[in-house]
Structure 1
Amino acid sequence: MPTGTALDEVTREADGGIVLAGARLVLDPAGALYWPAERMLVVADLHLEKGSAFAARGVPLPPYDTRATLAALAQMVERWRPRTLVALGDSFHDRGGAGRLGGEERETIGALGRGRELVWIAGNHDPEPLAGIGGTHAQELRVGPLTLRHEPQAGDGAGEIAGHFHPVARLVVRGRGLRRRCFVTDGARLVMPALGAYAGGLNVRDAALAGLFTDAYAAHLVGGARIYRIAGHACLPDR
């Protein structure tokens, strides 16, 4: 249990269930969202081939991020067995990322889409359709009361699920600082954590992110066996 934050502001969520615009959703502790009524699994900001993009610019990052990210995604697909898999944009780190995929990684993506609908939402890093990896491409996806897109739009945001910001929450655990990826929601709009192994993060208290929500927003921390919900005002800003 996190400490250093008022305990009445911290909730360990057994099943990760939330309601957004009337739709019941499940937050996976590994960083995906599952919509049981639609049998839909949603992930955001994979940033595949970021390592190879940096290597081309002379930045020595180990080139294993794509394999690690796809392995995590494959585990989620196996766990939830979705009918539809949606990636909310910035699935590749740049427009040439799909062309740099290795054979094994390309086969993994093919397996992820086998027997289900695979939807690639356009992101700012990958705005055009992705050649040679299957699935369909869309600017956004509207299903029932929810709209799935890459970047949150200005306004009340009712029913919006987006990525782009890579939210992280900072708190104190046993006297030590902890910074962890998280979902952020106020019950109307939800911003998802980045799944990419090399993806960075923006603090939920940053004005660009916090300004999207009402004062009642909460961070739902991922990366462990369970989801932890922390009130937004109880999260700590970066120093």
Structure 2
Amino acid sequence: MNVALKQALTPARRPCGSLSVRVMGELCVLRCSGTLWLPAHGTLVAGDLHLEKGSAFAARGQMLPPYDSRATLARLEAEITELAPARVVLLGDSFHDSRSIGRMAADDRAWLDRLAQDRDWVWLEGNHDREALTQADGEAVSGLPGRVVGDMELGALFLTHEPMQAARPGEVAGHLHPCARVVAHGRRVRRPCFVTDGRRLILPAFGAFTGGLNVLDAAIAGLFAEPPMAAALGKDRVHALAWAGLV
């Protein structure tokens, strides 16, 4: 790893247990919840909520507890309460499929309205929810709060759903649900994680029922010219992990 990257990726511990790094010079706070806090922009970013995944499985005869949306919204509310962001950006796949919005309970829909009140609420289109969100006039469908965009620029950062093979500098993306696996105390531990090399950043999935892909998989590792840093989510802190120690 070159000197510039090493300096950018030397994490600073935050009081809440989060880590701060710089991506193209922008201060990025990697929070224990899996959200990204951009203090210079007053913006909270979360990826891959997959709301109503439980009800989607139920519709196909696979029964999961129908509380994933409520659990995910509760976690998101906790972040909003603590940080009071002026803007919330959801990086796509906020809904699990094209019918998720219609399946949401009325109480959960009202909860979304309360969370979005008095702040800029931005839905990025993902591969799972593009059909559900897209309207010709760019407004959120079915009475959802906020606005819908394909991607957006924020300072030196470029927020999008799916990482591009030829990365745009400052890319912040989701989609891949990265997880890091290490051996600790004689057993393997697997945790959702951030992945960054100081040029781009991939967020873990935020939703309650989301799975994960090992960061050593070519779909993730192949996006980085040099070994990146994995920042794994712990109970009360984010752990910076050396790439060479992952399994």
TM-score of the aligned structures, taking structure 1 as reference length: 0.92
Root mean square deviation of aligned Cα: 1.3
Alignment partner for residue 243 of structure 2, among 229, 232, 237?
232
Secondary structure in 2 aligned to 1:120? Answer: strand
Alignment partner for residue 105 of structure 1, among 93, 99, 108?
108
CA 1:95–1:133: 2 relative to 1, 3 Å = same
Cα deviation code 1:75-108 (max 9, x no counterpart): 0111111000000000000011011110111111
Moved more, 100-109 or 85-94: 100-109
1:141 aligned partner, one-letter code? M
Moved more, 153-162 or 21-30: 153-162
Higher RCO (CA < 8 A, seq sep 6+): 1
Instruction: Measure, in 1, the Cα distance between the counterparts of 2:87 and 2:59.
Output: 34
Instruction: Measure, in 2, the Cα distance between the counterparts of 1:73 and 1:13.
Output: 24
Question: Residue in 2 aligned with 1:216?
Answer: 227
Structure 2 residue 42 is matched with structure 1 residue 31: no
Give the superposition deviation at 1:12.
Answer: 8.3
TM-score of the aligned structures, taking structure 2 as reference length: 0.89
2:216 aligned partner, one-letter code? R
1:107 aligned partner, one-letter code? A
Structure 2 residue 79 is matched with structure 1 residue 80: no
Structure 2 residue 23 is matched with structure 1 residue 20: yes
Cα deviation code 1:23-48 (max 9, x no counterpart): 01111111100000000000000000
Alignment partner for residue 61 of structure 2, among 58, 63, 69?
58
Contact preservation (8 Å) 1:69, 1:196: yes
1:60 aligned partner, one-letter code? M
Question: Residue in 2 aligned with 1:155?
Answer: 166
Alignment of 1:165-180 (within 5 A): 165-180=176-191
Instruction: Measure, in 2, the Cα distance between the counterparts of 1:26 and 1:119.
Output: 19
Where does the alignment leave 5 or more consecutive residues of structure 2 unmatched?
1-9, 134-140
Cα deviation code 1:156-210 (max 9, x no counterpart): 4310000000000000121111000000001100000001111010000000111
**Count of aligned pairs:** 226
Contact preservation (8 Å) 1:13, 1:229: no
Give the superposition deviation at 1:232.
Answer: 1.9
Secondary structure in 1 aligned to 2:225? Answer: coil
